[in-house]
Amino acid sequence: MAEIYGYAGKILRVDLTSGEITEIPSEKYLPKYMGGRGLAAKIYWDEIPPEVEAFDPENRLIIATGPLTGTGALGGGRCEATTKCPAMYPAQSFTTANAGYIGPELKYAGYDALIIQGKAESHVYLWICDGKAEVRRAEELWGLTTRQTRENLWQKHDEKTKVACIGPAGENLVVSAIISVEANSAFGKGGFGAVMGSKNLKAIAVRGTGRIKVADSKKLLEINNIRMRFYNIKAGETRVINGKTTVGTAKIRNSPMFGSSKLADEAKQGRVRIGLGGCPGCPLNCRNKAEFTDNSLPSGSVECADMLVWVVPEMMTDGGKPLGRLAWEASMLIDDLGIDNLQVLSTGLMSGLKKLDKNDKYTNMLYGGDWLYQGYLAGIFTEENTGLPWEKFGSQEFLRKLLNIMAYREGFGDILAQGLVPATKYVMEQEEFGPNRKQMEYIYQRVCPKAGKFGNPQERHSYSAPDPIMSIWCAVGDQFGQEPEPGWCGHSEPWSDPGLDPKVIIKWLGTDKVKDHYYWGPEVAKAAIAHEDIAAVTDSLVVCSYLDYGMYSKVVGHYAPNWPDKLLVDWEEFINNSPNGGPEYLSAILGVDITPEEVWKQGEMIVNLVRAIWIRDGYTEDKYDTYWDAVFEEEDKEGNKVTPKDKFEKTILDYYRLRGWKAGVPMRAKLEELGLKYVADELDALDKLPAIENQI
């Protein structure tokens, strides 16, 4: 039998209805579909037909690792979850999310992926340990918070066990429910926790002691060392990299959440102990730990991306002192209840931490996430019709009330728990919300910028300031978040930076014209496609997207105008080494020379497969690849349209042409070119394949 490198070799299937547990050889899918997002998309296509709905037992919950997971590759400590998303409207379809910790443990236990189907008759949890799996009763776990569930399962097994579990929100099928993984790492954005709850599955506990073999461990270590030297410079250290003198600062190794925060001030006074951590194999230390010496708040840890959404308003309005006790309690309570913080923010909590000026249109537009808050400012929401203490808006009392009524679906919280579209329709139809209630449609369209997706403040970065690449990508893609590649071009408002060297952008995005944030043309479409293919590879490897060379170059990320500006990168090295390290790592792990072009081609295949899933599930181009008019009306501070509708629509056509799609649907020739003939045949049988090949 040939040696297996990079993969465990098996996929675990658990049918909760029948109790049957089986295994599938990974070679059925791998390495063609790479892993992570690609592997999950193929399983979804094969097993979740369009008539299945999110809460049907026939829906699958898929957790898929990648070839980098558990190998020791830098950033290879995460995995992807996939399901038919209950939060998507009007057509439920494919979505993914990734989280840390459980992926490597799953591979060490002997599995590249986990497929969960059916519905248990009673409340259960899944126990996986070194090649064996068992469905166990979990009546005593039902009703517990995620924190309590983890602690209970650690007592049953041991503290090395990795736990992915749901809280009360998932049990009550709240569409913004998450699957919490090891405290504030989560499969969020779409309702994964609700799907898990619909199956009566409280938790997945995994323990593995195996190892994943790689073909060339020396080469893998060399790649790690090359990439690590841009991340491990200590505060005050002077180091020469590529002939350039680099001086480390504390903020390189320490998250900004604690660097100059209110909690950092308390730490100096001995009231809180703070620390750092990160996913396995990651040097970024983006997990923030805090222990309150007076036990006034729960101890725990959060990912900086989770905390950051609570920080930005405070940085704007409170002299740059982020992360106070209210923000910490918010993150702890959100995770305990098992709610997606970014979808919670779409109901107004982000604005709620600091009352924004109701007349400051730009600030309110920029930070979005204000469905509930803007409804309150418009006089639509009152204490009488919501049960919320608006006179204490932004307080601890308001925070606790809102989160609990959502998680337990009490009163107005039951309306919020169904998602923004049903909630908006309900409010607009009920006279109790007053004469201004019709304004909720406009408010909804600002928070949730297009049909198909749910409200998500992160996505507003595609049009809060001119960013044509992100505008195109967020219109056509199924993902969310601030992705690295568009950021290479620099950022305009509110965080100005010049971006990366044009040679880097030309190498990986195909053109440097996109450095002009007001330029629209086919080059924008080309760059958006390059980014989308790279992102698909990143999520299939699975590797953290924030470990590319550019993120710690001149200005770090979207949120860091005051972060280190002395960490220099040799751009020639960035040109010679890929953004996420995928081709280099795959060559070392699998023992086969793999070029970036070959890997990006796999990314293109995965993008087309996911698009085909959306089409089969009910996608229509006229609704899904565009924004509401409210988005096209947004202006920057100089009065320029952030996303000009005429230029956007022309560039979308360029995108279709370059993709080989017609009206948003991949044509047969493109699908067959990518080895997806079976996809073309099924779409053709459903009469959903473009009939005229020579028209875009």
448 contacts 458 by C-beta, under 8 angstroms: no
In this structure, CATH architecture of domain 252-447? Orthogonal Bundle (1.10)
pTM of the model: 0.91
Cα dist from 664 to 307, 477, 622, 691, whole Å: 36, 11, 9, 13
Q: Which CATH class is domain 464-661?
A: mainly alpha
* Mean pLDDT value across residues 457-475: 69
Can you give the pLDDT at residue 641? 85
Output helix, strand, coil percentages for the chain, rounded to the nearest 5.
45, 15, 40
- State pLDDT tens for residues 155-192: 999 999 999 999 999 999 999 899 999 876 889 888 99
How far is the C-alpha of 446 from the C-alpha of 331, rounded, in Å? 25
Can you give the pLDDT at residue 679? 98
193 contacts 103 by C-beta, under 8 angstroms: no
Can you give the pLDDT at residue 455? 54
Looking up tokens 């893998």 gives: 220
Can you give the pLDDT at residue 65? 97
290 contacts 310 by C-beta, under 8 angstroms: no
* Mean pLDDT value across residues 306-310: 46
- State pLDDT tens for residues 423-435: 999 999 999 999 9
The confidence band for 377, taking pLDDT boundaries of 50, 70 and 90, is: confident
Residues with Cβ within 8 Å of 429's Cβ and at least 6 positions away in sequence, in order, are none
Burial class (CB in 10 A: 0-12, 13-18, 19+), 180: buried
Q: Which CATH class is domain 10-207?
A: alpha beta
User: Which two tokens mark 476?
Assistant: 């056509």
Can you give the pLDDT at residue 233? 54
* Domain span(s) for CATH 1.10.599 in the chain: 464-661
How far is the C-alpha of 36 from the C-alpha of 347, rounded, in Å? 31
Least confident interval from 76-85, 358-367, 476-485: 358-367
The confidence band for 622, taking pLDDT boundaries of 50, 70 and 90, is: low
361-366: list long-range contacts, CB under 8 Å, 24+ apart.
Answer: 362/637, 363/316, 365/446, 365/460, 365/464, 365/634, 366/460, 366/464, 366/465, 366/493, 366/494
458 pLDDT exceeds 50? no
* Domain span(s) for CATH 3.60.9.10 in the chain: 10-207
For residue 10, which phi and psi values (nearest 5 degrees)? -140, 155
* Mean pLDDT value across residues 554-576: 49
- State pLDDT tens for residues 309-331: 444 444 333 444 555 777 788 78
How far is the C-alpha of 543 from the C-alpha of 72, rounded, in Å? 11
Can you give the pLDDT at residue 280? 79
Quote the crossing angle between the two packed helices 325-337 and 304-317, to the nearest 10°: 150
134 pLDDT exceeds 70? yes
More reliable by pLDDT, 477 or 35: 35
- Highest mean pLDDT: which of 369-378, 388-397, 407-416, 445-454? 407-416
194 pLDDT exceeds 90? yes
615 contacts 683 by C-beta, under 8 angstroms: yes
How far is the C-alpha of 264 from the C-alpha of 310, rounded, in Å? 16
How far is the C-alpha of 315 from the C-alpha of 541, rounded, in Å? 35
Among 628, 630, 666, 626, which Cα is nearest to 649's? 626
Can you give the pLDDT at residue 230? 58
636 contacts 453 by C-beta, under 8 angstroms: no
Can you give the pLDDT at residue 665? 94
Among 137, 84, 28, 94, which Cα is nearest to 607's? 94
512 pLDDT exceeds 60? yes
Can you give the pLDDT at residue 305? 47
Least confident interval from 214-228, 269-283, 302-316, 537-551: 302-316
242 pLDDT exceeds 90? no
* Mean pLDDT value across residues 565-576: 60
Q: What is the dihedral of CA 288, 291, 292, 296, to 10 degrees?
A: 90
617 pLDDT exceeds 60? yes
Q: Which helix H or strand E contains 10, and what residues bound it? A: strand 10-15
Least confident interval from 67-71, 307-311, 522-526, 691-695: 307-311
Q: Where are the alpha helices (DSSP H) in 204-249?
A: 217-228
* Mean pLDDT value across residues 576-603: 92
Strand intervals (E) in 71-143: 78-84, 94-100, 113-117, 124-129, 132-137
239 pLDDT exceeds 80? no
Cβ atoms within 10 Å of 365's Cβ, excluding its own: 18
- State pLDDT tens for residues 2-45: 678 999 999 999 999 999 999 999 999 999 999 999 999 999 99
Residues with Cβ within 8 Å of 29's Cβ and at least 6 positions away in sequence, in order, are 11, 39, 42, 43
Mean pLDDT of the chain: 82
